[in-house]
Structure 1
């Protein structure tokens, strides 16, 4: 068993002296540095503030035969730690791929083309993020429309501001709502008011819209923001699906223009 940490787990740390516990604590906190610098016993003793005898006493209790074997066991532990980090990175990648694939299967091309038609026919576009966390995807979409010389305004859920815009709607003005949950009664009231004034609505949400919202909106896109894949215990930003949706919309917008 050429692993310092594995051997350490086999003994009761209460049997270690205070100086030996100091050595253990230092090694755990500085494992990669010790291995990378091929730290000699003199340097380790100096860093910990102890003598050689405490180090050899610890090794003896762990049945490690000398400082050279100790160095080898630490190198093995360092390699194992790097492998675990690599696995963690792979888990994040797999979760990204998983949630993008799920949204790829969910997003309907027909609805996407309906949204593109609404965008192209809109005299003005109001990109509206209902939760602050979605400001990034909303700004990304607003910037793209601006670059395409479209009349576009970025809005948040501020009640007074959004009502001022709705009160001055022109026919076919388009509101694109980005929302994680879409269950706000204020949002429903705004949507109803937009429809009453002759505006158009694209509703992009991480939840199925309510019956009222479905009835009032012109194009609905429901995204998966929480992956049902429970085998990968990794947290992924809930903005990822919205960025993916933006990229799809932008791609088809540019492709249709060509």
Structure 2
């Protein structure tokens, strides 16, 4: 029987041993940093009671017992668990449990997204963005926050993206695009009627568009020049937050930026050094070198 199972079943444990076992299970991740006196004090037992429990579990003494507990604590902290993307934590969870579950959700989401990524699609998307004179972002709510992060990164490679939805004037903005521009739509549900109208217009005018969504059945997928679908186990509305979808979008957009950066890696590196010097010691620095 595993150590954690022995501490949980508490077979033939005395009342003091039950107290110690319960405390260890509730504070497993803190045990590696505690000594025997601290455990005895926290459980209102004694040094000898802790040692007796260790020996009952077939350890020579507290030192070996603590090493095994440290391994169990490590496994608990770093072994990934399945997490509900819509309700990833429970009201009774401790802060440590919530932190662990959010870490697991992030890792699980990125792994699932990576499995769905099509390298050729991302290369094609990068080609569309590279060729465009102007890039317009169509995104609302949380997706716009992810898009703005992408916008900020693109400045580093001298690409200045325009947020079309910024002032709820996306229709007027869309009317000004030309075939030399491109549009990037970021929307998890991909159900916006306005986006459908805009993409229909772009299709008619041969204006290239990239759609990043989480809905494989969305009608918008048929309207976009290049649809990229990354689906997650996340509902549209019944959820605590848009954790999974936005982690996925951030990962895809970061990957897309990295592909664009790598295409001109040496030149971008040279430009980075020049700009860094300008901002740190040049005229644009807060404290320019005289």
Q: Shorter-chain TM-score category?
A: 0.5 to 0.7
How far does residue 127 in structure 1 lie from its aligned partner after superposition? 1.8
- Alignment pair present for 1:48 and 2:48: no
Give the TM-score of the pair, scaled to structure 1.
Answer: 0.64
CA distance in 1, matches of 2:56, 2:267: 72
Q: Which residue of 1 aligns with 2:187?
A: 179
Q: Within 5 Å, which residues of 2 pair with 1:151-162?
A: 152-156=161-165, 160-162=168-170
CA distance in 1, matches of 2:180, 2:260: 19
CA distance in 2, matches of 1:208, 1:65: 55
Structure 1: runs of 5+ lacking an equivalent? 228-234
Q: How many residue pairs were aligned?
A: 234
Q: Which residue of 2 aligns with 1:166?
A: 174
**Over aligned residues, Cα RMSD in angstroms?**
4.4
Give the TM-score of the pair, scaled to structure 2.
Answer: 0.59
Counterpart pick for 1:242 among 248, 253, 256: 253
- Alignment pair present for 1:103 and 2:117: yes
- Residue aligned with 2:196, SS: helix
Q: Which moved more, 1:43-52 or 1:180-189?
A: 43-52
- Alignment pair present for 1:63 and 2:56: yes
- Residue aligned with 2:259, SS: helix
Structure 2: runs of 5+ lacking an equivalent? 81-102, 234-243, 269-290
Task: Give the direction of change, closer, same or farther, for the CA distance of 1:161–1:191 in structure 2 (3 Å limit).
Answer: same
Q: Which residue of 2 aligns with 1:191?
A: 199
Q: Within 5 Å, which residues of 2 pair with 1:1-258?
A: 3=3, 5-11=4-10, 17=15, 20-40=17-37, 43-50=38-45, 55=49, 59=53, 63-64=56-57, 69-88=61-80, 96=110, 99-100=113-114, 102-105=116-119, 107=121, 109-110=123-124, 112-117=126-131, 119=132, 122=133, 124-133=134-143, 135-136=145-146, 138-150=147-159, 152-156=161-165, 160-169=168-177, 172-194=180-202, 199-208=207-216, 210=218, 214-215=222-223, 217=224, 219-226=225-232, 237-239=247-249, 240-252=251-263, 254=264
